[in-house]
């Protein structure tokens, strides 16, 4: 028998405030998740055989070896109705035995991920977890899953939930913490609320990653728009919590090879989750090589620095301009092996891209730097005070690692480089402009 709204609302309020945890501090998710999610290419047309075959391709192609360790289900894996006792039930034809599925994935060397929703229903109309958070979390744990993606469809009426997005997601965070306490099992928790309510301000108190924008598409305008959104909130990313610009579209749609490289570089260097979303049975060798660039992956999985790269100059646009078609072009960040530089050519023709080294806050004045190209896998000489990436392809990228190579040559003029030149002053007070 259904509860009247006022009684249900009271019950919801009690559940959302009881035993509330500040964060999902469960020891997993320190580094960005790397793996696979079938939604972008297969959507609801998935079954156990497809998922296992995909995992086998990942192993065969060496993707597991370079770090892609998660194989995750998305929407449509369930029956449309719960059991008589309220349990969510997997589709009896397509996923007849979830424990068998996760056992097979684990035996192949992977972690297993599942999907649910914070509302009444998932985005495809299957049972959501609202009012069933702990029950569903226990079910997912008993099936052997290690990862939960949590969507934001079918939001209950305000007089039912009496919560905003923060409270709605806190419910599952609390449930996962309770399940960990009861069973010892932990989940990586991925929030998928599309960047609502400035999730980058509170996402790290709930889970390990949070979507920052709407669904990605396999075309350049979508990639550029998401990079633009990410450029203003990079400081939110660190160990155990990171901005999520959505799953990878490498191998899908009409992305050129150069655009796919830019897509992968930006996601990896922003320390985003890297979830492959294409048909591995038909992936080209070029697209596979992008996904397997171990020098780029090493930055994403850096155990010393967990922070994202950030723009140091917007380029075509004035700094701090929001432009979905032409995002920030000049980015840098820290890594255990040097300063990472990303240069994005947002125009439709090749371009040389010049920058002064000390425009990046991570470069030391008065030093020279050895330049490593992370796509050609070559050493490109030594940069002194500035560097130009030549002939960067339309919508293409240059990804560089600058390693300190000692003092710059003596006697260079002016005696101060970059912005410091406006206040460059000798010990006797003489100023140099």
Could you give the residue numbers annotated as active site?
151, 215
151: Cα separation from own chain's centroid: 15
Smallest CA-to-CA distance from 24 within 106, 145, 137 is with 137
425 beta partners: 431
Give CA–CA dist 317/266, Å, rounded: 19
Please report the DSSP string for 328-362 in residue order: --EEEEEETTEEEEEEE--SSS-EEEEEEGGGSTT
Q: How far is CA 143 from the centre of its chain?
A: 26
Strand-by-strand arrangement of the 397-407 sheet: 310-313, 330-335, 338-344, 397-407, 367-373, 378-384, 386-392, 351-356
Q: Are 62 and 291 in contact (CB under 8 A)?
A: no
Which residue's entry shows tokens 């405030």?
17
Q: Find, among 162, 243, 229, 232, the residue nearest to 199 by Cα.
A: 243
């Amino acid at each position: 028998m259904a509860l009247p709204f006022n009684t249900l609302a009271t019950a919801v309020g009690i559940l959302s405030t009881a035993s509330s945890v500040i964060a999902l501090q469960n020891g997993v998710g320190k580094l960005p998740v790397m793996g696979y999610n079938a939604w972008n290419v297969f959507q609801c047309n998935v079954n156990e055989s497809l998922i296992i075959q995909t995992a086998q391709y990942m192993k065969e192609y060496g993707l597991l070896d370079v770090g892609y360790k998660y194989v995750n289900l998305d929407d449509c894996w369930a029956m449309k109705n719960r059991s008589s006792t309220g349990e969510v039930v997997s589709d009896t034809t397509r996923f007849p035995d979830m424990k068998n599925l996760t056992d097979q994935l684990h035996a192949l060397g992977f972690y297993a991920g599942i999907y649910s929703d914070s509302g009444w229903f998932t985005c495809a109309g299957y049972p959501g977890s609202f009012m069933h958070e702990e029950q569903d979390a226990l079910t997912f744990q008993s099936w052997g899953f290690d990862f939960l993606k949590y969507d934001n469809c079918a939001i209950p009426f305000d007089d039912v939930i009496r919560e905003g997005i923060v409270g709605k997601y806190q419910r599952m965070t609390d449930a996962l913490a309770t399940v960990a306490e009861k069973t010892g099992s932990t989940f990586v928790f991925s929030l998928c609320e599309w960047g609502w309510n400035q999730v980058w301000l509170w996402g790290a108190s709930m889970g390990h990653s949070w979507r920052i924008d709407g669904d990605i598409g396999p075309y350049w305008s979508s990639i550029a728009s998401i990079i633009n959104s990410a450029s203003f909130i990079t400081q939110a990313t660190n160990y155990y919590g990171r901005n999520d610009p959505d799953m990878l579209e490498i191998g899908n749609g009409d992305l050129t090879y150069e655009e796919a490289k830019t897509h992968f570089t930006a996601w990896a260097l922003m320390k985003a989750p890297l979830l492959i979303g294409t048909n591995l049975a038909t992936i080209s060798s070029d697209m596979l090589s992008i996904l397997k660039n171990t020098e780029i992956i090493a930055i994403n999985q850096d155990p010393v620095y967990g922070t994202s790269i950030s723009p140091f100059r917007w380029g075509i646009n004035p700094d701090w301009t929001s432009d979905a078609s032409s995002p920030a072009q000049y980015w840098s960040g820290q890594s255990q092996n040097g300063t990472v530089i990303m240069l994005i050519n947002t125009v439709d023709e090749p371009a040389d891209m010049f920058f002064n080294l000390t425009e990046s806050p991570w470069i030391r004045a008065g030093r020279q730097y050895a330049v490593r190209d992370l796509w050609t896998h070559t050493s490109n000489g030594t940069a002194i005070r500035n560097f130009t990436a030549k002939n960067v392809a339309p919508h293409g990228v240059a990804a560089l690692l600058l390693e300190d190579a000692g003092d710059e040559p003596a006697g260079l003029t002016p005696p101060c480089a970059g912005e410091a030149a406006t206040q460059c002053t000798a010990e006797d007070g003489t100023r140099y402009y």
